[in-house]
Structure 1
Amino acid sequence: MKQLLIVFFILGGIMLSYGQRPAGAGGGNRLEQKDSLQKPPITAYKIISHRGDTTFVDTSLTIHKDYRFNYLRKDNFELLPFANVGQTYNRLAYYFKEENLIPEFGAQARHFNFMEAEDISYYEVPTPLTDLYFKTVPEQGQNLDAFFTINTSSRLNFSIAYKGLRSLGKYQNSLTSTGNFRSTLNYQTLNNRYRMKAHFVAQDLLNRENGGLNDLATEQYINKEEEFEDRSLLEVRFENAENVLFGKRFYLDHEYDLVSGDNNRIALTHILNFSDKKYIFRQTNPVEIFGPTLRATALNDESKLRHINNVLGVTYENNTLGKLAFKAGQSYYNYGYNSIIVLGDQVVTNRLVGENYSAGAEYANQFGPFALYGDAMVNLAGDFTGHFLTAGLNFQITPLNFLNVEVNSNERAPNFNFLLHQSDYLNYNWQTNFSNESTQVLNARFISPKLLNLEGGYTLINNYAYFSQTEEGFTRPFQHDGSISYLRIKAQREFHYGKFSLDNTIMYQRVTEGGGVFNVPELITRNSLYFSDRWFRRALFVQTGFTLNYFTSYNMNGYDPVLAEFYVQNEASFGDYPVVDFFFNGRVQQTRIFFKLEHVNSLITGNNNFAAPGYPYRDFIIRFGLVWNFFL
C-alpha cells in the first residue's frame, strides 16, 4: 500500500506541474492560450454511480458537509462511534434494502469502512481533478484520503485514490490502522456503442482489540474518578489481540449496443464481480472470558471467502415502452477454513463451496413527472434458495419537491459466519442449518427543502438471525422463530433567520414485535444552531455554531472482538446522554477548513457514557482538518 501511495503522489505531482505550466510554454498562439484559461463549469466534473446516476463535484460549504466530514465521509446520524477513529460503530437505526441472493461474509463490525461495489464512483472530467481530505485523530496519527482523476480524452477516464488511517487511541491496545486503495476506469467508444466501467479495490482494516474495560475500570469510569481522566490508566480486559479484514475486488460492468437508433436500442450487458475477503483474529495468549481453547498460545482464527458473480443480460429500450432487461446470473462461492474440527460428537466442517444459478428482469419507464422502476432475481439452482424484488415510483412534484415510494422483498440464507465458524476458542465453533431470512420493506421519501424532508419505512422480518450470549457469557448464533416488525420515521428541516440557521433532524422508531432480539432507541435527534457570514471582503465564507446529538436509552448491542460482530443483550440499557460539539468551518475558493471541539459539554459534566457495554464513548477532543480540490 505504501508503494501505491508513493506512485499516486508522483503521478499527482507530474500532473500538477503539467497543469501549472506558464501560458506560453509549449508554443501556441494567443487565442489558444486565452481559450485554455477559460475554466469549465463545475457541472462538467461528473460523478457517476455504479447504477449510472450522475451528479457533479460540489465545493460549497454547508452544514451537511460538516456532518460528512468524518472517517467514513458519510453522514453518520444513525451510527454511534467508538472511542478511537477507525474502530467500529454501534447502530442506532437500520435501513433494510436487500438485493443479495447468497450469504454475505461475516465480521460485519469491520465493514463500516469496507468499500463495496456500490460504494465506488466513476468520473468524467474536462481537466484533471484532485480531492484531498485530511483530519486529525485522537492520539498519534492522522487520517488522509487522496483522490486524483483525469480524462485522457472525452471518452476515457482514469482515477486513483487511497484512504489511510493510523490512530493510537486514548485507551490501552486500541490502535487502528486501515487502508483503502481504489482505482477506476470509465470508457466508451467513439460511436458510443460500447461502454465500460471497471474498478479494482484493495483494502486492509486492522484494529487492536482490548475487550473493553474490566469490571474495576468500568466502575472507575462510571464514577468519573479524576485520576483516571488519563484514559490510558484504565485497565482493559486484555492487551494482546487484534483483528483485521482484508479484501480485494475486480469489478467490470460493460455493455454493447447491437441496435442503436433514435427510438430503439438493443444491448448486451455483462457484470463481473470477482472478490476475495479474509478475516483474521489473532491473540498471543488466551483469556478466560472466551472460555477454553484448542491451543495454549498464538491463537489464530482465519476465514476466507472467494465470490465470483457473473450476470449476463439483454436490454431493450424504447422511447414509449421504456427499458426492459432480462438477465441470468451465476455465482461461485468458496467460504471457510483450512481444516475440519472434531469436538467430541460435534464435527465442524471446513468449507462451504458451490455454485448458484439465477434469472431475473429489470424495467424502467418515464411517464411525464412519474418514473417507474423494478428489479428482480430468483435462484433457480444451487445450494442456496432465495430471491429479491425491488419496485418503486418516483414523482417529481416540482423542480424542488420529490416523492419516492419503494417496496423491497428479499429471502436468502444468513451470513456465512452464522452457518459455519471455526475458532481456537472451543465455544466459538459451530455449524448450523438456519432457515432463510425473509424481509419485506415499504420505504417512502418526500423531499421538499422549503417544507420538510421526510422519510420512513416499515419492515417485517422472519427467521431473523442474530448473535447473543449464553448464560456462560459466550457469543453464539441464534435464529428468531417469530416475526419482527420495525417502524422508523425520520424528518429534517432547516430554518434561516438572517445570518443564523437552525438545522433539525429527528427520528422516531418502534419495534412492535421481536423487541427482545432487535433493539433500537425510540428517539434520535440532531440539532445544529449556527451563524454564517462572509469575511475579508467576501474572500472567506464561515459557518460556526453548536451541534447537539441525543438518543434515548435502550438495550444497546454488545461487541464481540473474536467475531467482530455485535450481539443482542437485554441486561443493561445505555444512552440518554447529550453530546454537544462546537464547530468553526471556513471556505476559501475550493478549500473547506473544519475545526471542531467534540463533546464540549463533557468539560462541564465529565464523561461516563458508553458506545457499547464496556466500551467508553469519546471524551472531549479538539480536531481539525480540510478538504481541498484542485482543478488543473
Structure 2
Amino acid sequence: MRKILIITILIITCVNSFAQTMMQSQYGTSASGMSSDRFDRNGNPIDTTAVVDASTVPVGLSSWTIDERFGNRIQVPVDTLQFGFQNSNDNGGPTGHFTHLGNLGSPRISHVFFERKETTQEFFTDPYSFSYDTPGTVKYTNTKSPFTNLTYYKLGSSRRAEEQFKAYFAVNVNKRLGFGFDIDYIYGRGQYLNQSTAQFNGNLFTYYHGDKYEMHFNFINNNYKVTENGGIADDRYITHPLEMADGKRVYKSYEIQTNLQDIWNKNTGYHAFLSHRYNLGFYKDESSENDTIVKEVFVPVTSFIHTVKVDMNTRRYISQNDKQNREYFQNNYLGNDSTDMTKYMSVKNTVGISLREGFNKWAKAGLTAFVSFEHRRFSMTDSINGTPGQFMRDYKENTLSVGGQLIKSQGKTIHYDVLGEIAVLGEDIGQFNIEGKGDLNFRLFNDTVRLDANAYIKNIKPTFYYRHFHSKHYWWDNDLSMITRTKLEGKLSIDRWRTQLQAGVENITNYTYLDNTSVGYTSSNDARTKTYKNDVAVRQNAGNIQVFSAKLRQDFKLGILHLDNEVVYQKSSNSTILPLPDLVLYHNLYIRAGLAKKVLTVELGADVRYFTQYYAPDYAPAIGQFYLQNPETRYKLGGYPLVNGYLNIHLKRTRIFVMMYNLVQGTGERSYIFAPHYPLNPRAFKFGISWNFFD
C-alpha cells in the first residue's frame, strides 16, 4: 500500500507539472464545458456557477458521467463536497442500506429492494458494487487547470487493517479536449481469519467536445481477489462470547475459528467503451442579457450516434483442500486439482439518429431511433470428474434489438424521458423494455417543489449464469421463462423544508433467485448433531410477487445543531422467497460550525444504522453470491443499532475525518451479524484524508 501510494503521488506530481505548463501555453484564460452544478442531499441540482472561491470549486470546473446507450452527458458533483466524508468508503453504504460480509470490499446486497440492481451478464462481479467500475460510472472532468484528488482511508491496526487509496487526475489539452485517469486500490486484511480482500480498479478516459463532432472513450481494468472463509464456525463467539470459553475469556476476532480456509474467488475484468456522434446544424449569433458581445453559437439539429462497448471477465475459483471440499460441500463435480474457471465476453454496438431538442421553438422534445447488436460468448468447464477429456465449452449468443427515445431535458418546469426497446432476433427475442421518468418543478409558498415519477414494464430473459453454470460444487442447465417486472414510483421534494417523500410498488412474475438446497445428515459420532452440506440451485416463482416501499427523508436544523433522518418502509407479498426488513433506518445527529472566518468547517456527531429483523440472505462462497437461507436452519438477523461517532474537518482543499466504528459493541446480545455467520468488524478506530489540487 505504501509503495503504491508513493509511486502514484510521484506520477501525478510529474504529470501535473507538465499539464500545468502545457495548459498555460495552449488553454488560455477561459474554459468551455458544462455549468458546475452540484446536488443537495435530496438529489436536486444547486447552481454553483457563481462560486469564485478557488479553495472550494474553481470557476470552470465541472464533472459528468455518460449513459452507456447514447453517450449523453449526466452532470455530477465535483469531488469537493465536505458533508458526509466520514461515510464515503463505508461498505454498507453511506446510510447503511447494505448487508455485507464485514470486510472492506466484500460482496454486498441491499436491504432496500428498490435499490437492488438487476442481475447482469457480469454475474460474478454484481455483488462488488461498492468499488466495481463500469463505463457508466467513469467521471469525466473539464477544468481550466489540472485537477488532482488523493484520498486515503484506514481502519484498525496495521496487522488487521483495512486500507483504501484513491487517486484521480484530469487535465484539458484545450477547451474541447481533455483526458485523465482514476485509480482505486483496496487491501482489507480482515478483522477475522481467512477474510482478506485485494482489489484494484483503474481507468483511463478522454473526451472531445466539438461543435460537430463529440467523443467519449474510457478503458477500465478490474482485478479482485477475495478470500472465502465460509463465516465463523459458531455465532456464539459474537452473540454469547463467554459461553465459548466457560466464562474465562472473550476471543479476539482474529482468534475465532472459521468454516473454510485456503479458498479464493478471483475476478479479472476489462472494459472498453467508445461513444461518438456527428452533429448537423447551423450557427447563430447569441448574446447574454448582461453581455453586449455577440457570440456565434452552434445549434445541433440532427445527430448520428455510434457507441461500442466491449466487456470481458474471467472468474476463477481456487480450492485445493480435498478434505474440506468433501466435508463442507454436497457435490464435488471436478477433481481436486482441476481448474474451476468461467469466462465472459461481450461486444455491443448501437447506432442511432437523433432529432435534437430545442433547435427551434417547435422542437419541444428530442427524438432518437436506434438499433443495437450484441454478441456474447461464455466459456466454462464442461465435464464431470471421472469423465475423460475435461474441456472448456463455449456458448455463443447474439441479439438484435430496436428502439426509440423521446426526451425533454431543457427548460425549468417539466422534463421527461421515455424509452422503449425490443429484441427482434437472436437469443433474447421477445425481450422488451418500456420505461419513462419525468419531473415537474413549481413554486409554492416561496419554495421550490419538485415532483418526480418513474415507471417501467420489462420482459427480461434470465441472465446466462442462471440458465447455465458448471463448476466444482454447483452444476445446472435450466430452461427458464421470461421475467416480467412492472413498477410505478413517485417522489415529492421540498428543499426549504428539507423533506423528501418517495413511494412505489413493483410486481414481478417469474421471480428468479438462488435457493439454498443444502442437505442435512446425522453425524455418525453424535446422533444428536445434524450437519448440512452446502448446495445451491436456481429457482423461479411462477406466480406474482409484489413489493411496496416508501421512504421519508427529513432533516432538521437549529443553529449549529443538525439531525438528519431517513426511514424506509417496505413489504414483500412473499417473504419466504423474497424476505425484506420492514424498516430500514438512518439517523445522524451532529453539530456543524464554521471556524476561523469560516475557512475551517467542523462536524462532530454520531450516526446510527438499523434494520428490523428478517431472514437476511445467506452467502455462498463457492459462487460468490447471496442466496436464501436453508429453511431448516434459518434464523433472523437485524435489530442491532450500528453506531459510529465521528469528527469531520474541512479546511480549504483538505478533508479529514476520525471515527470510532461500532461504538455499542458489547451491549445486548452484541449481534452485529448482518449476513448469516458473517459478523461486522468489531469496534475500531478509522480515519480518512482527502486532498484536492487545482494547479
TM-score for both structures, normalised by structure 2: 0.82
Deviations 1:223-247 (A, max 9, x none): 1227344112111111110102211
Deviations 1:206-262 (A, max 9, x none): 110011112xx3233321227344112111111110102211000011100134466
Q: In 1, are the aligned partners of 2:122 and 2:313 still within 8 Å (CA)?
A: no
Match of 1:89 in 2: 108
Counterparts of 1:75 and 1:530, CA distance in 2: 15
Q: Does 1:518 align with 2:568?
A: no
Q: In 2, are the aligned partners of 1:270 and 1:313 still within 8 Å (CA)?
A: yes
Aligned ranges for residues 296-335 of structure 1 at < 5 Å? 296-319=335-358, 320-321=362-363, 322-335=365-378
Q: In 2, are the aligned partners of 1:335 and 1:353 still within 8 Å (CA)?
A: yes
Q: In 1, are the aligned partners of 2:219 and 2:272 still within 8 Å (CA)?
A: yes
* CA positional deviation for 1:332: 0.2
Q: In 2, are the aligned partners of 1:96 and 1:459 still within 8 Å (CA)?
A: no
Q: In 2, are the aligned partners of 1:104 and 1:414 still within 8 Å (CA)?
A: no
Q: Does 1:291 align with 2:308?
A: no
- Amino acid of the structure 2 residue aligned with 1:435: S
Match of 2:526 in 1: none
Match of 1:357 in 2: 400
Q: Does 1:591 align with 2:591?
A: no
Q: Which moved more, 1:365-374 or 1:381-390?
A: 365-374
Q: In 2, are the aligned partners of 1:144 and 1:164 still within 8 Å (CA)?
A: yes
User: For 1:49, what is the secondary structure of its paired residue?
Assistant: strand
Kindly tell me: are residues 442 and 613 of structure 1, through their superposed partners in 2, closer, same or farther at Cα, counting changes over 3 Å? same
Q: Which moved more, 1:550-559 or 1:387-396?
A: 387-396
* Structure 2 residue runs without a partner (length 5+): 26-51, 67-71, 243-247, 285-298, 520-533
Deviations 1:136-172 (A, max 9, x none): 0342452101100000111111010110011211111
Counterparts of 1:111 and 1:276, CA distance in 2: 17
Q: Does 1:224 align with 2:245?
A: no
Kindly tell me: are residues 355 and 7 of structure 1, through their superposed partners in 2, closer, same or farther at Cα, counting changes over 3 Å? farther
Identity %: 19
Match of 2:382 in 1: 339
- Amino acid of the structure 1 residue aligned with 2:346: H
Match of 1:34 in 2: none
Deviations 1:44-71 (A, max 9, x none): 2111121312244252422x44333435
Kindly tell me: are residues 489 and 329 of structure 1, through their superposed partners in 2, closer, same or farther at Cα, counting changes over 3 Å? same
Match of 1:404 in 2: 452
Match of 2:258 in 1: 236
- Amino acid of the structure 2 residue aligned with 1:108: D
Match of 1:174 among 195, 202, 206: 195
TM-score for both structures, normalised by structure 1: 0.89
Match of 1:249 in 2: 271
* CA positional deviation for 1:526: 0.8
Counterparts of 2:53 and 2:676, CA distance in 1: 57
Q: Does 1:382 align with 2:434?
A: no
Q: In 2, are the aligned partners of 1:97 and 1:441 still within 8 Å (CA)?
A: no
Counterparts of 1:603 and 1:539, CA distance in 2: 39
* CA positional deviation for 1:603: 4.7
Counterparts of 2:677 and 2:118, CA distance in 1: 34
Counterparts of 1:389 and 1:153, CA distance in 2: 40
Match of 1:282 among 301, 318, 343: 318
Match of 2:514 among 457, 461, 467: 467
* CA positional deviation for 1:393: 1.8
Counterparts of 2:185 and 2:118, CA distance in 1: 30
- Amino acid of the structure 1 residue aligned with 2:279: D
Deviations 1:21-76 (A, max 9, x none): 9xxx99xxxxxxxxxx99596352111121312244252422x443334359x635
User: For 1:42, what is the secondary structure of its paired residue?
Assistant: coil
Counterparts of 2:198 and 2:54, CA distance in 1: 39
Q: Which moved more, 1:7-16 or 1:139-148?
A: 7-16
RMSD (Å) for aligned C-alpha atoms = 2.9
Counterparts of 2:368 and 2:626, CA distance in 1: 39
Counterparts of 2:448 and 2:655, CA distance in 1: 26
Counterparts of 2:76 and 2:373, CA distance in 1: 32
* CA positional deviation for 1:6: 7.9
* Structure 1 residue runs without a partner (length 5+): 27-36
Q: In 1, are the aligned partners of 2:273 and 2:309 still within 8 Å (CA)?
A: yes
Aligned ranges for residues 49-128 of structure 1 at < 5 Å? 49-50=65-66, 51-57=72-78, 59-62=80-83, 64-70=84-90, 75-95=94-114, 103-106=121-124, 108-128=126-146
Match of 1:488 in 2: 549
- Amino acid of the structure 2 residue aligned with 1:383: E
Counterparts of 1:249 and 1:19, CA distance in 2: 27
